[in-house]
Structure 1
Amino acid sequence: MKKIGLLGGTFNPPHVGHLIIANEVRHALGLDEVRLMPTAIPPHKMNPADASPEQRMHMVSLSVAHIPGLKASSFEVDHGGVSYTYDTMKRLTEHEPENVFFFIIGGDMIDMLPNWYNIEELLELVSFVGVARPGTDGRTSLPVTMVNVPAIDLSSTFIRQRVESEGTIRFLVPDQVADFIHQEGLYGSQGFTK
């Protein structure tokens, strides 16, 4: 039996904040691995100029390629469609019944957790791990194990805006991800400075 952490999200693009969270939770809880799992189609709308699911998956793979204990998971991208955590966890626990799963969420998601789709059933499939995010309460009456991580006020939205304005994203994303964004011309990146 393995203890598997899951960090879901759009990863549009993945950044160092994601990697810090995954690594800190892995070590704090003694997890065998943490999988970064991009959504296929998030429940909220994406901008047509955003990276495709395949491009986001590739960037996640580049991000974790040489980090022990962190892995990229194409589970939701391969399945396709809108990604609801309950549906994903139902399929994943059926596919890997021998493993125990820990779903990592930020303070913004903790605040909204009571409203998640099929939350009561979801709590039977997975344990939630919360990490604080600047500007959120991170409080709920539901069972969430909190892990302290260094506060990094960084978002994918900020990185997309920085790229679009031709600013630098050095140290905000792994170099391989910056190269891929530039090569693919993502987020209006034709003239940005790595």
Structure 2
Amino acid sequence: MKRIGLFGGTFDPPHYGHLLMAEQVYQQLDLDEVWFIPSYQPPHKEMAKTTAKERVEMTKAAIHGHPAFQVQTLEVEREGKSYTLNTIQTLKEQFPTYQFYFIIGGDMIEYLPKWHQIEELMELVTFVGVDRPGATTNTSYPVEKVEMPLIDISSTMIRKCIREGQSIRYLTTPEVIAIINKYELYS
């Protein structure tokens, strides 16, 4: 049975914090693979600042070269709001023998009670919460916890740096920076 980490997000843009999170879960839980799942439209955020196609391209570029990381585009192909329940149901139908672990940042653990059909979702997937700086990780739901080195990078920070003409070197990969520059994103 394959053990797969699922890492959903807007990835607008993907950055080293995302990659470190995925790597820590991959190593600490001894997973076979981690699948990055860019959302078409996240239910808990405003619309993304870039197109789904651009975010998929950036995510593929960010993980390029990691043999256990891949991009799964089912939410983008489905379009509309991306509810985790629908994604997990689809993946369990397609891969009935796989065991899935849904990766969330520590800051999302306290919001689990507000997730769409959370009780049903808890029956289908194991949640993995990654401790992040300043996050409250207390919950009544069963969540496996993974620790990660302190790194405080966000997509919002990167977009702000770009708008203000500051460098984003060392916040995200050179491949992602090349795509941002190519399409003149976030400026």
TM range (shorter): over 0.9
Q: Distance in 2 between matches of 1:174 and 1:181?
A: 11
Instruction: Tell me the equivalent position of 2:59.
Output: 60
For the 8 Å contact 2:7–2:102, the answer to whether it is kept is: yes
Give 2:111's aligned residue.
Answer: 112
- Matching of residue 92 in structure 1 with residue 91 in structure 2: yes
Specify the alignment match of 1:191 in structure 2.
none
- 3-state SS of the aligned residue for 1:8? strand
Aligned partners of 2:137, 2:152: CA distance in 1, in Å?
15
CA contact (8 A) 2:130 2:148 kept: yes
- Pairing 1:17–2:25 present: no
State the distance in 1 between where 2:46 and 2:25 align.
28
The two structures have a TM-score, normalised by structure 2, of 0.97
SS of equivalent residue, structure 1 residue 87: helix
Counterparts of 1:63 and 1:12 in 2: how far apart (Å)?
Answer: 12
Equivalent in the alignment of 2:30: 30
Report the AA paired with residue 112 of structure 2. L
Q: Please provide the CA RMSD for this pair.
A: 0.9
Question: Does 2:84 match 1:80?
Answer: no
Contact 2:132 2:148 in 1 (8 A): no
How many residue pairs end up in the alignment?
186
Q: For each residue in 1:88-110, what CA deviation from the matched residue of structure 2 results, as whole angstroms up to 9, or x when unmatched?
A: 11111111111110000011110
Runs of 4+ with >2 A deviation: none
Deviation of the 1:68 alpha carbon? 2.2
Q: Which sections of structure 1, spanning at least 5 residues, go unmatched?
A: 189-194
Instruction: Report what 1:46 is aligned to.
Output: 47
Shift of 1:52: 0.4
Using the size of structure 1 for normalisation, the TM-score is 0.93
Q: Does the 8 Å contact 1:106/1:138 carry over to 2? A: no
**CA deviation vs aligned residue, 1:55-94 (integer Å, no higher than 9, x gap):** 0000000011101211111121111110011111111111
Q: Is the 8 A contact 1:107 1:139 kept in 2?
A: no
2:2 matched residue in structure 1: 2
Letter in 2 for 1:99: Y
Secondary structure in structure 2 of the residue aligned to 1:142 = coil
Unaligned runs of 5+ in 2: none
Work out the CA distance in 2 between the residues paired with 1:151 and 1:36: 21
Q: Which moved more, 1:70-79 or 1:99-108?
A: 70-79
1:148 shift after superposition: 0.6
